[in-house]
Amino acid sequence: MDAIILQILNGLDKGSAYALIALGLTLIFGTLGVVNFAHGALFMIGAFCAVTLSRLLSLSHKVEVPGAVDFLGNPQMRDVPYIYDLFGESLGAGIIDWAVPLSILFAIPVMILIGVIMERGLIKHFYKRPHADQILVTFGLAIVLQEVIKYYYGANPIPTPAPSAFVGSFDFGALVGFEPRTIIYPYWRLVYFAFAALIIGAVFAFLQFTTFGMVVRAGMADRETVGLLGINIDKRFTIMFGLAAAVAGLAGVMYTPINSPNYHMGMDFLVLSFVVVVVGGMGSLPGAVLAGFLLGILESFASMREVIAIIPGINQVIIYLVAIVILLTRPRGLMGRKGVMED
């Protein structure tokens, strides 16, 4: 029983990452009709926003450590961040410690800017081009972005820990009467889940309750008619692209303490998130979120020892197997609309 509860928690957590990325993909796809293979790269750049900020905060100068020598026999140097000089050592250390949450503030403008530049500079010219061309150009862009990051940050994962206040885990089991320390969950993963729920809620509220959102939804349903009504839908679509980039970027920022970011993390997520979007149904935002959580939970269950013992290798293929079953029983995924991306 407790094992199952834990796997549901795991699934929700994995699902949040899938859902956030799939949400951004669907936003772009639903509004602009563009298959964006660079979306994984946006997720990755978000993560590197956090890396960059924590590096900026820890920019330091060298101070000689008296009496010690380094591996070549030269005097040992110690790094002292400039921020210590500015704010004193304890406050400075505190700021560095909180680099990841602070990166949210840093990442939002950066990601919106990147999104808008991408849309205006490149994607805009591909609205009327075949999907194959869109795939090729965004895939090319993804490789370029990835290689640029690799050039500056290397190929190794870069540890980017959560603030020390969030280290450790929350004992769920004790709360509901299980033995202590059997159902525990790391604080940061709970934060990630809450954060994802918040972002998803905000995006839905934005689309549902604002005039802007209404126009965008109308544009998603029938772009031509909205244009005929004299509404400048293009400008709104640009903003939507920026928004989608920001959602992907924030997903990346918050993901860094869970797994150390590396330059190819975007590609690792790309294929999975496409599967999630399609299983959810092309162009359906609730579908994307639902599919994200569903696949996350199923993946967690499939990784249990008891399950693998019955069907060896099931943990390797579960997501694809579920995708096939769903697509064969529900022709347009869970909540897809008829006629979208079917030709």
Partner 1 sequence: MSKGNLTRRGVLKTGAVAGAGLALPTYLSAAGHEGFTNAPTGSTVTLGFNVPQSGPYADEGADELRAYELAVEHLNGEGDGGMLNTFSSKALDGTGILGKKVEYVTGDTQTKSDAARASAKSMIEKDGAVMITGGSSSGVAVAVQALCQEAGVIFMAGLTHSNDTTGKDKRANGFRHFFNSYMSGAALAPVLAANYGTDRKAYHLTADYNWGYTTEEAVKSSTEAMGWETVGSVLTPLTQTDFSSYITPVLQSDADVLVLNHYGGNMVNSLTNAVQFGLRDRIVNGKQFEIVVPLYSRLMAKGAGANVKGIFGSTNWHWSLQDEGSKAFVQSFGTKYGFPPSQAAHTCYVQALLYADAVQRAGSFAPCAVVEALEGFEFDGMGNGKTLYRAEDHQCFKDVLVVKGKENPSSEFDLLEIVEVTPVEQVTYAPDHPQVAGGSLGTCNNGA
Partner 2 sequence: MFGLDKKDASLLLIVAALVAFAPFLLNPFPEGSAMAQFNAGYPDLMQRFVIFGIFAIGFNILFGLTGYLSFGHAAFLGVGSYAAVWMFKLLSMNVIPAIVLAVATAGVFALIIGYVSLRRSGIYFSILTLAFAQMSFALAYSVLTPITGGETGLQLALDDPRIFGSATTADGNIPVPGFFGLEMRDSAELVFGSWVFTFNVGYYFAAIIMLASFYLSIRIFRSPFGMMLRAVKSNQQRLNYTGLNPRPYTLAAFVISGMYAGLAGGLMASMDPLAGAERMFWTASGEVVLMTILGGVGTLIGPVLGAGLIKYMENIISKINSDILHSWFAFLPDGLEDLIVALIYPFIGKGWHLTLGIVFMLVVIFLPGGLVQGGQKIAAMFGRKKAEKTENATTEPAE
Does position 217 interact with partner 1 (CB under 8 A)? The reply is no
In angstroms, the CA 68 to CA 18 distance is: 48
**Interface with partner 1 (CB under 8 A), residue from 208, 210, 225, 316:** 316
For CA atoms 202, 196, 337, 112, give the dihedral sign: positive
Q: Is 119 helix (H, G, I), strand (E, B) or coil?
A: helix
Report what 278 binds from partner 1, partner 2, none; CB cut-off 5-8 Å by kind: partner 2
Q: Which two tokens stand for residue 143?
A: 């490789």
60 is an interface residue for partner 1 by CB under 8 A:
no
Pick from 265, 271, 273: nearest CA to 51: 265
Token pair listed for 4: 């199952």
- Give, in order, the Cα–Cα distances in Å from 70 to each of 59, 60, 63, 76, 77: 21, 18, 13, 5, 8
Per-position x/- string for 76-105, each x denoting binding to partner 2 as judged by CB under 8 A, each - no binding: ------------------------------
Segment 144-173, which members bind partner 2 (CB under 8 A)? 144, 146-148, 151
258 binds, among partner 2, partner 1, none (CB under 5 to 8 A by kind): partner 1
CA gap 88, 164 in Å, rounded: 19
Q: Which is nearer to partner 2, 233 or 318 (CB)?
A: 318
Q: Are 298 and 318 in contact (CB under 8 A)?
A: yes
Beta strands in 122-219 (DSSP E): 169-171, 184-186
Instruction: Point out which residues bind partner 1 (CB under 8 A).
Output: 2-3, 6-7, 9-11, 13-14, 17, 68, 70-72, 76, 150, 154-159, 161, 168-169, 181-186, 188-189, 258-260, 262, 264-265, 268-269, 299-300, 303-305, 308, 315-316
Positions touching partner 2 (CB under 8 A) are: 35, 122, 125, 129-133, 135-137, 139-144, 146-148, 151, 267, 271, 274-275, 278-279, 282, 312-313, 316-317, 320-321, 323-324, 327-328, 331-333, 341-343
